Amino acid sequence: MIKSEPRERSTRQRRAIRNVFETADRPLAPDEVLAAVQRSGAGGSLATVYRSIRAFIDEGYLTSVELPGTGAFYEIAGKTHHHHFSCLKCRRVYELEGCLPSETLRLPRGFRAVAHDLTVFGTCASCR
């Protein structure tokens, strides 16, 4: 019986994980990544998914998405400014286009904003 080399196996898994992120078009939780990787037949465990995600973050390929009240999500790094939609039912996170016009929020006199953070919560189309 020919044993596949651990290095070779992890390369295949990492390629599969990269592919999952390229096709997802939205931030993914580690268990979603694992499910997609297993569907593709590459196998793996949650531990190997976490290890790959950490390596991808070190390489600058992935970044973590911090959202209030959810676990960890990850997306491809270096995207233009965008916000997220968090589905309260299926717990999936989606990427939103556009931004709030700055005049919607009024800053007190003398204040100057340099960044903002916005998450929209609700139910997604498949959960309606």
Residues that bind Zn ion (CB under 5 A): 87, 89-90, 99, 124, 127
Residue 36 phi/psi, 5° resolution?
-70, -40
CB nearer to Zn ion: pick between 8 and 117: 117
Q: Taking a C-beta distance cutoff of 8 angstroms, is the pair 74, 62 a contact?
A: yes
CB 2, min distance to Zn ion, A: 43
Q: Taking a C-beta distance cutoff of 8 angstroms, is the pair 127, 90 a contact?
A: yes
CB 113, min distance to Zn ion, A: 11
CB 102, min distance to Zn ion, A: 9
CB nearer to Zn ion: pick between 23 and 80: 80
CB nearer to Zn ion: pick between 6 and 69: 69
CB nearer to Zn ion: pick between 90 and 105: 90
Q: Please provide the DSSP assignment of 64-85 as one string.
A: EE--TTS--EEEETTPPS-EEE
Strand order in the sheet with 119-122: 93-96, 83-87, 119-122
CB 88, min distance to Zn ion, A: 8
